[in-house]
Structure 1
Amino acid sequence: MRWSGLSKSVPRLFNRSRVLTHSLTIPTMALSSNWAKLQANNADLKGGKKSTGKAKNTGKEKKGSAKNVVKKNAGSTKNIVKKNTSYKKTERPGKKPSKIMSMVYSMNDAIKQHAVDKRDGKAFEFKTEETAAADLDGSAVPDFDNLPSSKKAKDIGKFVAMDCEFVGVGPEGKDSALARLSITNFYGHVVMDEFVKPRETVTDWRTWVSGVKPEHMKNAISFKDAQEKCSKILEGRILVGHAIKHDLEALLLSHPRSMIRDTARHLPFRKQYAQGKSPSLKKLAKEILKVDIQDGQHSSVEDARMTMLIYKSDKKEFERLHRSTFSS
């Protein structure tokens, strides 16, 4: 995530950077073991199907009669059997997993495959846009709203999440420069993940927190190329991020406020987790997803994925507040 020492002197933003006419090259997913931890905490994730609690037994009805009561009184508001919400509900063994957990299981499989690829020297294999788009059409990538048609599945999608990593520049390394840019789609698949050559001389790689090393610059792209690729992806799409203003400033890009969903500015999160202030991504991941992140070197891919999951956990409220703010 954003390094606290970001320079306060940021050039003026411009509305749009030039759009590339060539197809993007999309790398494979950079995977994190934190996805495996999500599997053990599926009860706390929102956005998927919730398991149904058992009806209370009044003692006058035989076991299983609650189900009949619900059917018999389907049209009555007086005799509805309420769900027991006093305990955390978990998926029952053998029950079809929720959509969000299906994604987690898919990511676990991908993590295992990534380990095999790394062992075989295939960890840095790149996919073409057509190949990556075909992945979106597979059953391993669930849609949390509706299953898209095969045509829509080939698109990046309406929602993308973005995160950046920075290195230190300047005499004492206190100023920050973009060194890695990652964008994922609604399902967590990587749309763009590039190391970026800083325009200034690096005086502090901040590897312990950024994860960026000098050797990563060997195949890094220029700032201009990163800016143009990012601009093309963001065009016309809803951008999900955490304190996303800083990442956009680092890229010298702007994005319409009505097309941004910022988990650091979401009022319910601020009230519940930070006493009205902006909660950290680490805090939200721990409280909402029950996952520990950023314990060591950061991963912009992991942070982008976590940000999207956090957004999904309260998507309805995000959109309700958005409509109330921007409706004419």
Structure 2
Amino acid sequence: MFNKVQPKQGAQETQKIQTITEAMQNFDVRFPVPGSQNQTGSILAIDCEMVECENEIGASVQMLARITVVNYNGYVVLDQYYKPRFKVINYITRISGITPQIIKDKPVYNDFEKSKLQLLFKDKTIIGHTLKSDFDAMEFNLEDYQTRDLMKVDFLKLDEGSRFKKDVFEQGQHSSEVDARAALFIFRKFRNEINLYYKQLDWEKDKQQKQNSKSAKKNQKKQQKVPSKQQRSKKSDNSKQQNEKSQEGQDTRKVQIQKKAISKKKSQ
């Protein structure tokens, strides 16, 4: 379904890929991969490189120019360049590594290309770093997919994962293959901790949703108990009428008592 693209790699990119691959192999020797093949087969690491474009209303937008997808075993499933459908106003080459020559004859990223990525991501857990920007570039809704975003994992800022992230993600020109492999390596190294962290996030999210639902039902009951202005007015009118009838009844009884008293006095 996908064409496996093998772009020309610079010395820096090749060296980084080799370093990450060796680190992953050494780690696997010391700590065998946990879980079944079915579990590991459902995991993909991705990274995207974007260029700045001008859309149909003249606004600046970041659009997809390259995506790399790596499976759990470190094999490149997809490494594809795209030509944006809008006019490119900045290739951001010093960060993205993208030049006009690289994407000149590449396929336009359109609905057909999007559908292929959607099929590839179906029923998968997507690993990456700052995935929100990647999913925006792919024009996907992040909430529609199961993800593990390393940027959100707080504890990775406190140990060797932080130094590794900084070396790969924050220095020099980026490569989507390097970044995807780096994200995969960090995930494999801290897999249990990251999954536990996300379970905690899911639990807190579920708890908040239940609290919100409970509060909404409570407010709804309060609103049902509190009479509307029209109901209060009607109740007030009914009460007034009842008071008037009660007063009339009291006046009638007084008159009857007075008549009886006068009649009794005359008879004496």
Q: Distance in 2 between matches of 1:39 and 1:312?
A: 12
Q: Which has the larger radius of gyration?
A: 2
Task: Kindly state the Cα deviation for residue 256 of structure 1 after the two structures are TM-superposed.
Answer: 4.3
The equivalent residue for 2:115 is 228
Is the aligned partner of 1:161 residue 2:45? Answer: yes
- Residues 25-56 of structure 1: CA deviation (Å, up to 9, x unaligned): 3335866211443588x5xx79946xxxxxxx
The equivalent residue for 1:217 is 103
The equivalent residue for 1:177 is 63
Match for 1:189 among 75, 80, 86? 75
Q: Distance in 1 between matches of 2:25 and 2:150?
A: 15
Q: Distance in 2 between matches of 1:32 and 1:293?
A: 15
Q: Distance in 2 between matches of 1:147 and 1:27?
A: 29
Q: Which has the higher helix share?
A: 2
Match for 1:253 among 127, 130, 140? 140
Do the aligned residues in 2 keep the contact of 1:181 with 1:194 (CA within 8 Å)? Answer: yes
Greater relative contact order (CA < 8 Å, ≥ 6 in sequence): 1
The equivalent residue for 1:27 is 5
The equivalent residue for 1:104 is none
Task: Kindly state the Cα deviation for residue 295 of structure 1 after the two structures are TM-superposed.
Answer: 3.9
Is the aligned partner of 1:98 residue 2:76? Answer: no
User: Counterpart of 1:220 in 2: which secondary structure?
Assistant: coil
Is the aligned partner of 1:267 residue 2:160? Answer: no
Do the aligned residues in 2 keep the contact of 1:164 with 1:247 (CA within 8 Å)? Answer: yes
Please give the root-mean-square deviation of Cα atoms over the aligned residues, in Å. Answer: 3.6
Q: What one-letter code is carried by the residue in structure 2 that aligns with 1:27?
A: V
Matches within 5 A, 1:97-116: 97-98=29-30
What is the identity percentage for the equivalent residue pairs of Structure 1 and Structure 2? 21
- Residues 68-118 of structure 1: CA deviation (Å, up to 9, x unaligned): xxxxxxxxxxxxxxxxxxxxxxxxxxxxx436xxxxxxxxxxxxxxxxxxx
Task: Kindly state the Cα deviation for residue 297 of structure 1 after the two structures are TM-superposed.
Answer: 2.4
Q: Distance in 2 between matches of 1:294 and 1:267?
A: 17
Task: Kindly state the Cα deviation for residue 315 of structure 1 after the two structures are TM-superposed.
Answer: 0.8
- Residues 257-304 of structure 1: CA deviation (Å, up to 9, x unaligned): 77110100012124x27xxxxxxxxx956x147955664321111111
Match for 1:312 among 172, 175, 188? 188
Task: Kindly state the Cα deviation for residue 205 of structure 1 after the two structures are TM-superposed.
Answer: 1.4
